[in-house]
Amino acid sequence: MNILGINCFAHDTAAALLQDGEPMAFVEEERLNREKHTRAFPDRAIAFCLERAGIGIDQVDVVAFAHRAGLDFRRGAADALRRLPTSAKRLGAQAYIDATLARKERGFVRRFGYRGKTVHVGHHEAHAASAFYPSGFDQAAVLTLDRGGDFLSTTLGFGNGTRLETLAEVRNPDSLGEVYSALTWYLGFHPNADEGKVMGLAPYGRDRYAKEFRDLLRLTPEGLFSVDLAWFRYHLEGGWLSKRFLERYGPPRVPESEMTEHHEDIAFAVQDLVEEAGLHVAKALHRLTGSENLAMAGGVALNSVMNARLLAETPFENVFIQPAASDAGNALGAALYVWHLALRRPWRWRMVHAFLGPESDLASFRRVVEAR
């Protein structure tokens, strides 16, 4: 059986192809169109997967899209309606996103001539599947930490055999990823792309703002969290940070301008905030599951400093983090979700490497060097 997984929700578009439960190919579109964090539909990635597997589109049994049509809109619109009139722009954006996804799917069917079955897998369900099923764990706690998708930012789950269940969740706009991206913008970097630069900047800072930054979040007794939205505007489609934040901490850094101690200290504070929140959630997940294994995905799961603390400071003994923890990994996760949960097929594959994309031989390296 051939299952084609597609992530085309927003950024980091990608495709993956499973044959009888094992990936034959998996690649991000950006590797082929050379556009970092591309939002382009993964036509080239799909074509590569089909070619690598040696099949045509007519031999694909199921196409799994890593989003559920209408779900993000219904949840997001309900939240936006509660915040009118300041959320009017976001309400329009939610409708636009949903309509765009429908057009993308129709375009795929038309361009590739696909006539088979299509399935929609939830954004965080795909993240969770991309983490648990390749981990090799018979059972594991499963944590997804993200900016958002299907209007969820965080899920706590448990995987056992081929089963995968969600135990708790945090809905947007309460989101560690949104908070981190907002401060990425403040520091003069590109949100949803340069968060790693903030993580790298943080060790140069001091704890001057760390204690007061803790007030940006409320950690709940059951192990979840909420964001004090008075400091932000990302939930209103009106910028990233509120007037209150900018009055307290000053104007945002102009990109490429001098990096000051103030900026370093801000980076330290937001990194510390996310680490502490991640520890809080992970410890709660361990209490819920009792598992010694942890599998993680979602954009925030790419914060390697936080991950090191999770391994060192929680009861988990073994941690697997999906290498493609960003939305790109949802192409693989959606396909695995269909194989294991929709079709109830057995475990067949463990991810021991990430070399599932295009290869370059010596001749191609030589051509690139000679072209320079």
Neighbours of 119 (CB within 10 A): 17
Q: Give the Å distances, CA to CA, from 179 to 195, 217, 244.
A: 11, 9, 15
Distance CA 119, CA 259 (A): 47
Q: What is the DSSP string of 49-83?
A: HHHHHT--GGG--EEEESS-TTHHHHHHHHHHHHT
Residues recorded for the chain: 372
* Catalytic residue flag (residue 340): no
> Strand 163-171 to strand 62-65: parallel, antiparallel, or no bridges (unpaired)?
unpaired
Q: What pairs with residue 14 in β-bridges?
A: 7, 28
Q: What angle do CA 341, 315, 142 make, to 5 degrees?
A: 15
Q: What is the DSSP string of 298-365?
A: SGGGG-HHHHHHHHHHSS-SEEEE-TT-STTHHHHHHHHHIIIIIS-PPP----S----S----HHHH
Catalytic residue, chosen from 11, 120, 235, 263, is 11
**Residue 80's closest CA among 229, 226, 236?**
236
Distance CA 202, CA 184 (A): 11
Q: How far apart are the first and last CA of the chain?
A: 44
Q: Give the Å distances, CA to CA, from 99 to 74, 80, 95, 117.
A: 13, 17, 6, 21
Three-state DSSP class for residue 16: strand
Which residues are catalytic, by number? 11
